[in-house]
Amino acid sequence: MIKSWLQRNLKGDPVLWGIVILFSLISIAVVYSATGTLAYKKMGGNTEYFLVKHTGLIFVGLFFMWLAHRIDYRHYSRLSLYALLVSVPLLLFTYFMGGEINGASRWMTIPVINQTFQPSDLAKLALISHVASMLSRRQQHVDDFKTTLLPVMLWVGLICGIIILSNTSTALLLFGTCLLLMFIGRVPLKQMTVMVAIGIVVGGIGLASGQRFQTVQSRIASFTDKSKPVPFQLEHSYIAIATGGVTGKGPGKSTERNILPHPYSDFIYAVIIEEYGLLGGVAVLFLYLAFLYRGLITVMNSYGAFGGLLSAGLTFSLVLQAMVNMGVAVGLGPITGLPLPLLSMGGTSLIFTGISIGIILAVSRGEREVRPMVGEPADTARIPKKTALA
């Protein structure tokens, strides 16, 4: 009975469902441990406050994931444009009038529910979906600068250019994801080189005129100049990893969580290794690689260019962010401030992560693009895999 209910209601790749649920359980356990002291100090001894809040948000994210996976993924081709048109004014409003935290205006507060929201989460999802849509519609004209590169370049430049004003790491990661999509979508390397050159110019101007230029400079200098002292965050991240050993101190026994800034988000991977050891760290890394593998299986099994590109873009976006976060924690890159997707404590970011995975699951349902949808050009329907994603 339970098996039949699951088969009726949880469509798509069952392995991907299992990976996400496992991530959710790990997240609840680790965030509870990482926020225990913080909750005790700020909530008057109520150490379960953040546990309850985070667990609730995870269930909300899983609900949105379930909703997204029930929708025919071809609808996202049109919805992505509307989402982009909403994202631009929201990004601008947040930059000029949003709440400033740690020297960056990335957040706006949603009235009534009093929940913070980063418009960059919506913009990232919308841009990846729209770039996938534009490339799938132009598979027969990928060599044409005016019809292919120009519209992609305008949207990528606009969104990444606004985001980099207050969030450099997110903008660079999003730009890299779009370049990967262009490569998978068979855009010639010559045109991609033009895209990179324009991105360097626009990104440089945006970074220099934005809020994070000095911070980016100092973080890169701290990483590259070995004569400078190790930044406070990294020093205690190294201590957490070193004292964790092979098997770890055990759940809830982290000591560096009381010292590390943001142990429940930016440096949650260090807390995982401290409590669960090298084995726990490798297990989490393996889960992300398994997520990447199942996402690429979905790409290979998709029946049209849009489904394959959409799944590839969203999969790479999540996994690349995870790799950057874990790389920072172990000292392989400068500090970025990016959370660890599916594990870090977050607000609305958990919802957008859930929607992204739901869309990947919708593609994995294997819906054939037999005919174009209403208002959709005929060349997006039923493109053979060998020509669409060769």
Average pLDDT over residues 245-261: 89
pLDDT at 36 over 90: no
Q: What percent of the chain has pLDDT over 90?
A: 41
Which residues lie below 8 Å from residue 386, measured CB to CB, with a gap of 6+? none
Return the higher-pLDDT residue of 303 and 2. 303
Question: Which stretch of DSSP H or E encloses residue 118?
Answer: none
pLDDT at 142 over 90: no
Query: Which residues share a beta bridge with 108?
Result: 117
The verdict on pTM exceeding 0.75 is: yes
Taken in order 292, 351, 74, 369, the sign of the CA dihedral is: positive
Average pLDDT over residues 107-135: 83
Return the higher-pLDDT residue of 66 and 150. 66
Angle between helices 119-137 and 168-184 (to 10 degrees): 20
Measured in whole angstroms, how far is the alpha carbon of residue 2 from the centre of its chain? 32
For residue range 367-388, what is the model confidence (pLDDT) as tens digits? 533 344 444 444 444 444 433 4
pLDDT band at 131 (very low <50, low <70, confident <90, very high): very high
Q: How far is 132 from 307, CA to CA, in rounded Å?
A: 8
Total Cβ atoms within 10 A of residue 11: 18
The pLDDT value recorded for residue 380 is 45
Q: How far is 385 from 149, CA to CA, in rounded Å?
A: 22
Average pLDDT over residues 204-219: 84
pLDDT at 289 over 90: yes
**Tokens read off for 213:** 């230029």
The alpha helices in the chain, defined as continuous H runs, are 2-9, 14-34, 36-42, 49-70, 76-97, 119-137, 150-163, 168-184, 189-209, 213-224, 232-244, 268-301, 305-329, 348-364, 385-388
Q: How far is 139 from 137, CA to CA, in rounded Å?
A: 6
Q: How far is 131 from 128, CA to CA, in rounded Å?
A: 5
pLDDT at 24 over 90: yes
Average pLDDT over residues 124-153: 84
The pLDDT value recorded for residue 147 is 75
The pLDDT value recorded for residue 22 is 96
The pLDDT value recorded for residue 377 is 44
pLDDT band at 390 (very low <50, low <70, confident <90, very high): very low
Domain ranges of the chain: 12-70+229-366, 74-225
pLDDT at 124 over 90: yes
Average pLDDT over residues 130-159: 84
Q: Which residue has the tokens 């120009």?
A: 150
